[in-house]
Amino acid sequence: AIRMTQSPSSLSASTGDRVTITCRASQGISSYLAWYQQKPGKAPKLLIYAASTLQSGVPSRFSGSGSGTDFTLTISCLQSEDFATYYCQQYYSYPRTFGQGTKLEIK
Amino acid sequence: QLQLQESGPGLVKPSETLSLTCTVSGGSISSSSYYWGWIRQPPGKGLEWIGSIYYSGSTYYNPSLKSRVTISVDTSKNQFSLKLSSVTAADTAVYYCAGGRVLDYWGQGTLVTVSS
């Protein structure tokens, strides 16, 4: 199975900050990577797929980049509603695997 | 816009079989453009992919659960289902159904507790 490793595991930031979360795959996955946002008690929400394609309705302050084994999710100007846990997931091969999550907290 | 809704018992006894159904509305479960899956999340932990099924009926399972998992689809009801046998307390989690071209659409999740 492909292992997905996110860093950091947690992150404190302030509204208006620019933050970057990284995701590394244990082997190449081309661009078959998705990013999800999850708020407490809610289902995950797809933000980005194909490593850099913004899902419809997702604010443009979210962006993704990378291919192969190294990927990043960037939030350009944090808003209060962005404080949540973020997961990456590869869909290059089965079994599908998620990163362990990055909890973004208010500083 | 697809909508997914999980249903099933919230409490299952150890060694029994967990059964959940996901009802899809707003689109056809038989669409060749979509695939469907189950994901779970133990309390306070991360997401674990359980398995997926395609419109063709092809299934893929997490190797760590493969011996206990069955995912099936009922096109007449626009539903797909999860069965997980021989459950233990370690299977206590919120279970989500999801689907789409990637996992675009998610159900709200249902907490299943394994306890006697």
CB-nearest to A43 from B61, B101, B106 is B106
Instruction: Please report which confidence band the pLDDT of residue B1 belongs to, taking 50, 70 and 90 as the band edges.
Output: confident
Residues paired with A29 in a beta bridge: none
pLDDT in tens, A42-87: 999 999 999 999 999 999 999 999 999 999 999 999 999 999 999 9
What sign does the CA torsion over A76, A78, A81, A83 have? positive
Phi, psi (deg, nearest 5) at residue A4? -110, 125
Q: Average pLDDT over chain B, rounded to whole? A: 96
The mean per-residue pLDDT over the stretch B65-89 comes to 96
Calculated CA dihedral for residues A22, B104, B94, A12, nearest 10 degrees: 30
pLDDT value, residue B33: 85
pLDDT value, residue B55: 84
Q: Quick check: B106 pLDDT over 90?
A: yes
User: Closest Cα to residue A99, out of A45, A25, A10?
Assistant: A25
Question: ∠ at Cα A5 (A34, B93), nearest 5°?
Answer: 75
Mutate to test the interface with A, among B6, B36, B39, B47 (most CBs of A within 10 A): B47
pLDDT in tens, B19-35: 999 999 999 999 888 99
Chain A contact for B65 (CB, 8 A cutoff): no
Q: In sequence order, which residues have a C-beta less than 8 Å from that of residue B34 and are 6 or more positions away?
A: B2, B27, B55, B99, B100, B101
Length of chain A equals 107
What sign does the CA torsion over A40, A41, A45, A51 have? positive
Q: Quick check: B56 pLDDT over 90?
A: no
Other beta carbons less than 10 A from residue B87's beta carbon: 18
